[in-house]
Every structure is written in structure tokens, then in C-alpha cells.
Amino acid sequence: MKHKEYIIGAAAAIIAFLSLLGFDILPLIFLIGLAGAIYFITDSKLLKVKSSSVGEGRKDSSISFNDIGGQEIAKNELREALEFIKSNDKLKALGIRPLKGILLNGPPGTGKTLLAKAAAQYTNSVFLSASGSEFVEMYVGVGAKRVRQLFTQAKQAAKRMNKHSAVIFIDEIEVLGGKRGQNHSHQEHDQTLNELLVQMDGMTSDDEVKVLVIGATNRSDMLDSALLRPGRFDRIVKVDLPDKKGRAHILKLHTRNKPLSAEVEIEAIARDTFGFSGAQLESVANEAAILAMRDESKEISPVHFKNAIEKVMMGEKLDRLPSADEKLRIAIHESGHALIGELLFPHSVASVNVASRSNALGYVRNTQEDDMFLYTCDYLNGRIAVSLAGALAEEVLLSSRSTGASSDFQNASDLARHIVYGGMSELGIISAEDLPKEKLHNAISSILGEVEKSTLSLLNENMQILKDVSSELLDKETLSGDELRGLIKKEAA
């Protein structure tokens, strides 16, 4: 405070002296006022960041690794990296330098923030969190000052709470740590990143308070190489979407305080939620409880979970009502998807619906017994057939197609492109970068043409089943996978 008073006093004396000499002091007063306003604005923003960055609440510190499901590999890597805080003396004896930073890289909603909080609890550290966007401002020097303030704050908070370590969590670190030289308008972004590098370089094993920086991003390709070199972010931990076993673990965690009916099978729900993140699974459990409350049910049933999955995937049901002709076309379209899907991939259809949700007038929800990470050419061709089946079913029963298949065609084209790039097309092994667009187009068109012929033939062979499924779907609006399989077996018998 004293240096501010000295500056203000000196400025007032200079203005008074110039006024006595007869100078026009109005422009000078204007400039000083402008500089003061900028200073106090930036200073107040720094204080705002300071108050919002500290995460010293006891609720955060109560989160442990046992409360996080579906990320066993990430948790094991984190535990190993955190040993330098817990066993510092042992590491010193072996001459091991401490890890200064850990980068959590993965899609949104996979639990990166929870892992950082659990890391703080595991090491009995103070936890501070900030977002990368909080450090980037138009004013030169503000971001760098915020970085210095954050590290100082971490050490002060640890001393105040009688702890020897602190964890600084920076979410969306690609905003702060993006590649330098890309912002030509000013150097504020680069100065902020440079300050973070300087602060991390200044961390040693002899510090009274040991600081660990944990960054989170889903765009690691955007980060500056200086940030990822050894001695800064030493470990890059992949936090990926959970597999079926992980999804079951997450669902058990989020339903342990909810009354489930005896018919609910967590393993079945985990199988139906392939590709869901931890955040989406939490939303499924929460939406199921909300649906049970709407029905005034004391327990959450499988139907509630089924509707919750569809709501999380597709959104809430809409009041939009198509005309009778449109509804018939939608039913035929979705029946085509469902029939070909079930014929090519038995027991893969979970439900067929003609109720509007979000941008979809109808949809088929698929599931699979086991997670897949490698795809054969036959499998991809089968998925292309399922995508094309809706429009082809319209053509078989209504002698025309509609614009409702545009997204299906895009999906089919993407799958065909995977076949080409995977070296499974007639072109053989190719270089994706060097492949001429005309050749790529011809190869994709050839694949789609062949699958279209085989799918059309399969629909004609099962035309009566297609009619039965469409008719049943018009009456009920929704068919379960078991009901669909019942109609197929009935016609086959």
C-alpha cells in the first residue's frame, strides 16, 4: 500500500508544480486517470481470480480414488507419480528428481477433475483449481502475474493448513499452454506461458512446500512442446472412455444411494451404454431417478433406466407431431434400420422408436455384448448396410426416398472411408495424404454401391417382416429389442 501512496503523492506534486509553471495539465490528468483505471481494473480482476482459485473446501478433499470408477489404469499411473510427494526421503536417497507436472488427457466428462482432487487427498495436499481461460487477458502482464499469484497462493494455503504439499489443477490448459508464436497481435499469451514454465522450473525437492501441477485437456496436440518436455509435465496420463467393466463400476457408484428394483441389472445397463463417459453415466442414473419420481414410484425400474439412456443419448421427447404420411414413412425407415441391424448383428437392437427427440424424428438404439476396438471389413460393411437400410426400406415399400436419410448417408460414407484408409478396399494399402480425391470418391462409391445391392436384396427377401414391424411400430410407437426379435421369429416360423 505504501508504494501506491508514494506514487499518488508524487503525481499530485508534479501536477501542482506544472500548473504553477503555466502548463496545460488537462491532457496529463486525462492520461494519469486512464492509466489508473486500467491498473485498478486489472488489479481487481487479479483479486477475483485469487478468491475463486482456491479449492480448500473439505468436500473436495473427501474424494478418493475409490470414488472414481472406470479409470483403473489412470489411477495406477497417478498413484505411482504421486509417490514423490509421499516418499520424498526415499526418492532423495535414490537421486530421483521430483515430478513437477502431470497432464491428464482425454475426452470431456471422463473424470479428469475428480482424479486431480483424489490426487490431492491421496497426498494430503492443499487443492487449488483454475481454468486456463482465467489467465489470458488483453492487458499485458496480467496473465503472468496471475500465474505467479497462483503458485504463491498454493504455498501460503499449505502453510496455513499445516501441510507440506499442494496440488494446482489447471483445467483447459491448452488455452494457457498453447503453441507460442500463433498470436501475432500481442505477446500476452506467450508471456503467460513463459511465466508458467519459469514457475515450474523453480520447483525443487528442497522446497518447504512441494507443489505439483496437474493439467487437464482434450486437445494435447495444441500444447507447446516446451510444456511437455521432461522436467515440466513429465507424465501424460490417458483418461479414456470407460469399458464395460468400468461403466458397471461407475453405475454402481452413482446408484449406491438410490433405491433400485430387484429387476435392475447394472451389467445390462453397462452393456447398453457403450461409448458413454462417466458424466453421461451419472446423468443416466440421475435421470432414471427423476423419471421414477414423475411416476411416483418408490423404486427405480429397468424401464426408467431405458428411458433415461435414450434421453441422455437423444434428448427429451418433443411435442412435434408429424402428419400421418410422415409417420408412416418414419416407421418404415426405422423398421429398415432395425430389421437389417438385427439380421446382420443378432441381439444388437435395444429399441426402435418413432417418437421425436432432439433433431431425430425416430431412432434405433443399438447395443453390443462386448466393447469393440478393432473392426473388420465385414463388420464395417454390415454397419454401412444398417445405415443405408432406412432409405432402402422407404424405396421398397413407398417407391421413393426422403431427406431423412442424409445423416445416414454421411455415416455410411465415413465408414466406407475407414475401409479405404484401413487398406481393406480394392485400392489395397494406400497413403491417405497422397490419395487423389477422385480415386477416394470412386472407391467409396464402389463400396456403397455393392452394400446397397446386397441390402436391397435382403429387404426384399424379408419384406413381410418389414411390413409387420412397421405396422407394429405405428401402433405402439416403441418396440423393444425382444419384441422385434419376436416378430422376426414369428414370420420365420
Here the CATH number for the domain that contains residue 487 is 1.20.58.760
* Predicted pLDDT at 291: 92
CB 174 within 8 A of CB 122: no
Per-residue pLDDT, averaged over 257-282, amounts to 89
Q: What is the pLDDT of residue 29?
A: 66
The confidence band for 47, taking pLDDT boundaries of 50, 70 and 90, is very low
pLDDT in tens, 81-118: 787 777 767 767 777 777 788 899 988 888 888 888 88
Of the three residues 238, 257, 291, the one that is the final residue of a domain is: 238
Helix, strand, coil: what percent of the chain each, to 5? 60, 10, 30
The bridge status of strand 126-131 relative to strand 165-171 is parallel
Residues 384 and 451: their CA atoms lie apart, in Å, by: 7
Judge if 129 and 183 occupy the same domain: yes
| Position 176 pLDDT exceeds 90 | no
Please state the rounded mean pLDDT for residues 226-241. 85
First CA to last CA distance, the chain: 90
Q: For residue 2, what pLDDT is reported?
A: 45
Tell if the pTM clears 0.85, that is, is over it: no
Per DSSP, the three-state class of 16 is: helix
User: Are 66 and 42 in a shared domain?
Assistant: no
Q: Residue 3 and residue 165: Cα distance in Å, rounded?
A: 33
In a domain, 173, yes or no: yes
**Of 37 and 253, which is predicted with more confidence?**
253
Q: Coil, strand or helix: which one is 90?
A: helix
Are residues 388 and 484 located together in one domain of the fold? yes
State how far the alpha carbon of 279 is from the alpha carbons of 247, 284, 288, in Å: 11, 9, 14
**Domain contains 417:** yes
SS3 233: strand
| Same structural domain, 286 and 176 | no
Helix (H) or strand (E) holding 213, with range, is strand 210-217
Residues 64 and 203 in one domain: yes
> Taking a C-beta distance cutoff of 8 angstroms, is the pair 389, 463 a contact?
no
With pLDDT > 90 as the criterion, what percentage of the chain qualifies?
A: 29
Boundary of a domain, candidates 200, 220, 238: 238
pLDDT in tens, 191-207: 788 888 888 877 776 67
- Which helix (H) or strand (E) segment holds residue 131: the answer is strand 126-131
| 319 within some domain | no
Which of 233, 205, 210, 201 is closest to 92 using CA atoms? 205
Q: How far is the C-alpha of 147 from the C-alpha of 168, rounded, in Å?
A: 11
> What is the rounded (10 degree) CA torsion for 392, 397, 401, 406?
-50
Q: What is the pLDDT confidence band of residue 56, given thresholds at 50, 70 and 90?
A: very low
For β-strands 363-366 and 165-171, DSSP reports them as unpaired
Report the C-alpha gap between 149 and 54 in whole angstroms.
11
Task: Supply the residues annotated as catalytic.
Answer: 334
Which element (helix H / strand E) includes 144?
Answer: helix 142-160
Location of C-alpha cell 434421453: 311
Range of the domain at 268: 244-314
Taking all residues of the chain, what is their mean pLDDT, rounded to a whole number?
Answer: 82
Average pLDDT value for residue range 232-251: 87
Output Rg (C-alpha) for the chain, integer angstroms.
30
Q: Quick check: 13 pLDDT over 70?
A: no
Mutual orientation of helices 72-86 and 112-122 as an angle, nearest 10°?
30
For position 81, which CATH number holds? 3.40.50.300
**What's the pLDDT at 424?**
93
Backbone angles phi, psi at 185, to 5 degrees: -70, -40
Asked if pLDDT for residue 425 goes beyond 60, the answer is: yes
Q: Nine-digit cell at 142?
A: 496480467
As a whole number of angstroms, the distance between CA 269 and CA 276 comes to 11
Same-domain pairing of 450 and 338: yes
Question: Which three three-digit cell numbers place residue 180?
Answer: 507460442
Q: Are 332 and 459 in contact (CB under 8 A)?
A: no
Q: Considering 238, 263, 279, which residue would you say is the last residue of a domain?
A: 238
Sheet harboring 165-171: ordered strands across?
126-131, 165-171, 210-217, 101-105, 233-238
Tell me 132's DSSP state.
G
Does 66 share its domain with 207? yes
Q: Are residues 218 and 177 in the same domain?
A: yes
Same domain as 464, residue 408 = yes
List pLDDT tens digits, range 152-162: 888 888 888 88
| H-type alpha helices, 177-317 | 188-201, 225-228, 244-255, 266-272, 278-294, 302-314
Residues 384 and 415 in one domain: yes
Q: Is residue 37 part of a domain?
A: yes
* pLDDT class of 342 with cuts at 50, 70, 90: very high
Same domain, 96 and 79: yes
One-letter amino acid for residue 156 of the chain: Q
Range of weakest confidence among 47-51, 261-265, 318-322, 368-372 = 47-51
What CATH code is carried by the domain that includes residue 294? Answer: 1.10.8.60
Q: Which of 38-52, 191-205, 423-437, 445-459 has maximum average pLDDT?
A: 445-459
Evaluate whether residue 17 is within a structural domain: yes
pLDDT tens digit sequence for 367-418 = 776 667 788 999 999 999 999 999 999 999 999 998 888 889 999 999 999 9
How many degrees, rounded to 5, is the angle at CA 92 between CA 89 and CA 97?
A: 125
Which among 56, 44, 74 is positioned nearest to 216, based on CA atoms? 74
Q: HEC string of 378-415?
A: HHHHHHHHHHHHHHHHHHHHHCCCCHHHHHHHHHHHHH
Same domain, 331 and 363: yes
Number of DSSP helices (H) and strands (E) in the chain, helices first:
20, 8
On whether the CB atoms of residues 167 and 125 are closer than 8 A, the answer is yes
Domain count, the chain: 4
pLDDT at 6 (0 to 100): 55
Is 394 within 8 Å of 400 (Cβ atoms)? yes
In terms of pLDDT, which residue wins out, 248 or 191? 248
